[in-house]
């Protein structure tokens, strides 16, 4: 699969991405919502099972319960897999809808192991970098506490600023991984190169997507069934502004 090539560097048009994303969702809402309900519901059940079994890891006698440990581990693995399945399926459906195709539910439900593996690697890389940033900020704050306690909050504030910067900087990493077919490191570098020149626009897009998802939480399950596909379509539309599509029908779609 060829790598996506950045188009010449205009800033992200946030309003245009939102409008195209909503139009793509409106083009095939029932398929996107149906897949979100199916995969999201499975993900929620896995999370509930993990919480239940993790509470039984220590038996009433104070001894580890091996059966509960195994079930909790299986539930956690299922939770991760269904989360990746949800992300890959929604981005695939958004790519098709943005090309004015009506995806079939079978196309979204189909498990794309390679895309899920790339997606997992990208998310893991981002989480590791964020963890390193937070740990460095905490260590710096601890050292300043020994020298000048009044300055101790400064590294934490600096760490928070770096986390915000990095999170917006990597907003296109998932589409680059799933749609563009890049590996974790390639998506990391390409996403940074594409968004750095217009970082404030990337931050605005990040806030818009967060607002969509948070608005979905306000009405619980029904809201997320709409909010997640709309956010996926908006993110994919923003990706298409900066990168040429791999082919006219999207990735891994027959």
| Buried-exposed string 91-111: b where 16+ CB fall within 10 A, e elsewhere | bbbbbbbbbebebeeebbeee
Q: Let me know if residue 160 belongs to a domain.
A: yes
Q: Let me know if residue 58 belongs to a domain.
A: yes
Which of 108, 35, 120, 112 shows the shortest CA–CA distance to 79? 120
Angle between helix axes 66-98 and 220-242 (nearest 10 degrees) is 50
Instruction: Tell me the residue range of the domain where 214 lies.
Output: 14-242
The pLDDT value given to residue 158: 92
Which residues on neighbouring strands pair with residue 64, listed in sequence order?
A: 58
The CB density around residue 46, as the number of other CB atoms within 10 Å, is 20
97 sits in the region (left: phi over 0; alpha: psi -120 to 50; else beta) called: alpha
> In this model, does residue 8 exceed pLDDT 90?
no
pLDDT 10s digits, 127-154 = 999 999 999 999 988 888 888 888 888 9
| 71 or 169: which leads in pLDDT | 169
Q: Which residues contact residue 226 at a Cβ distance below 8 angstroms, ignoring those fewer than 6 apart?
A: 25, 29, 33, 216
The pLDDT value given to residue 69: 80
Mean pLDDT, rounded, of the chain:
86
Q: Tell me the pTM.
A: 0.84
pLDDT 10s digits, 203-233 = 999 999 999 999 888 877 678 999 999 999 9
Mean pLDDT on 175-194: 91
Number of domains in the chain: 1
The pLDDT value given to residue 251: 44
Q: Let me know if residue 218 belongs to a domain.
A: yes
> In this model, does residue 252 exceed pLDDT 70?
no
> In this model, does residue 63 exceed pLDDT 70?
no
Distance separating alpha carbons of residues 108 and 93, to the nearest angstrom:
6
> In this model, does residue 253 exceed pLDDT 70?
no
The percentage of residues in the chain with a pLDDT greater than 90, rounded to a whole number, is 54
HSE-up of residue 194 (Cα within 13 Å, Cβ side): 27
The percentage of residues in the chain with a pLDDT greater than 70, rounded to a whole number, is 88
H-only helix segments in 55-183: 66-98, 105-109, 113-147, 153-169, 173-178
The pLDDT value given to residue 127: 94
The pLDDT value given to residue 250: 41
Q: Let me know if residue 94 belongs to a domain.
A: yes
The pLDDT value given to residue 9: 57
| Buried-exposed string 58-72: b where 16+ CB fall within 10 A, e elsewhere | eeeeeeebeebeebb
> In this model, does residue 185 exceed pLDDT 70?
yes
Which of 130, 86, 123, 129 shows the shortest CA–CA distance to 229? 86
Q: Let me know if residue 25 belongs to a domain.
A: yes
HSE-up of residue 233 (Cα within 13 Å, Cβ side): 31
pLDDT 10s digits, 67-114 = 778 888 898 999 999 999 999 999 999 999 999 888 888 889 999 999
The pLDDT value given to residue 249: 41
| 4 or 178: which leads in pLDDT | 178
Q: Let me know if residue 38 belongs to a domain.
A: yes
Q: Let me know if residue 249 belongs to a domain.
A: no
Least confident range from 2-11, 128-137, 166-175: namely 2-11
pLDDT 10s digits, 52-61 = 877 776 655 5
Q: Let me know if residue 197 belongs to a domain.
A: yes
Distances (CA, A) of 217 to 36, 136, 139, 204: 14, 32, 35, 20
């Amino acid at each position: 699969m060829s790598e996506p090539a950045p188009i010449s560097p205009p800033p992200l048009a946030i309003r245009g991405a939102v409008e195209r994303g909503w139009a793509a969702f409106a083009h095939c809402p029932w398929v996107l919502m149906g897949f979100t309900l199916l995969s999201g519901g499975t993900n929620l059940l896995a999370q509930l099972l993990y919480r239940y079994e993790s509470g039984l890891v220590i038996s009433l006698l104070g001894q580890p319960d091996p059966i509960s440990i195994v079930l909790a581990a299986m539930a956690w693995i299922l939770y991760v897999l269904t989360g990746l399945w949800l992300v890959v399926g929604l981005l695939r459906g958004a790519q098709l809808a943005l090309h004015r195709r009506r995806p079939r539910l079978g196309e979204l439900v189909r498990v794309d192991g390679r895309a899920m593996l790339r997606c997992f690697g990208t998310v893991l890389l981002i989480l590791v970098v964020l963890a390193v940033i937070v740990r460095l900020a905490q260590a710096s704050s601890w050292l300043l506490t020994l020298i000048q306690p009044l300055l101790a909050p400064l590294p934490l504030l600096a760490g928070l600023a770096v986390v915000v910067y990095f999170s917006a900087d990597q907003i296109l990493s998932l589409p680059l991984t799933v749609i563009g077919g890049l590996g974790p490191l390639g998506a990391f570098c390409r996403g940074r190169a594409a968004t750095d020149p217009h970082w404030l626009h990337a931050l605005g897009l990040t806030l818009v997507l967060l607002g969509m998802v948070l608005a979905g939480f306000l009405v619980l399950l029904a809201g997320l069934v709409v909010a997640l596909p709309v956010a996926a379509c908006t993110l994919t539309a923003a990706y298409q502004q900066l990168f040429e599509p791999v082919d006219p029908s999207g990735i891994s779609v027959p």
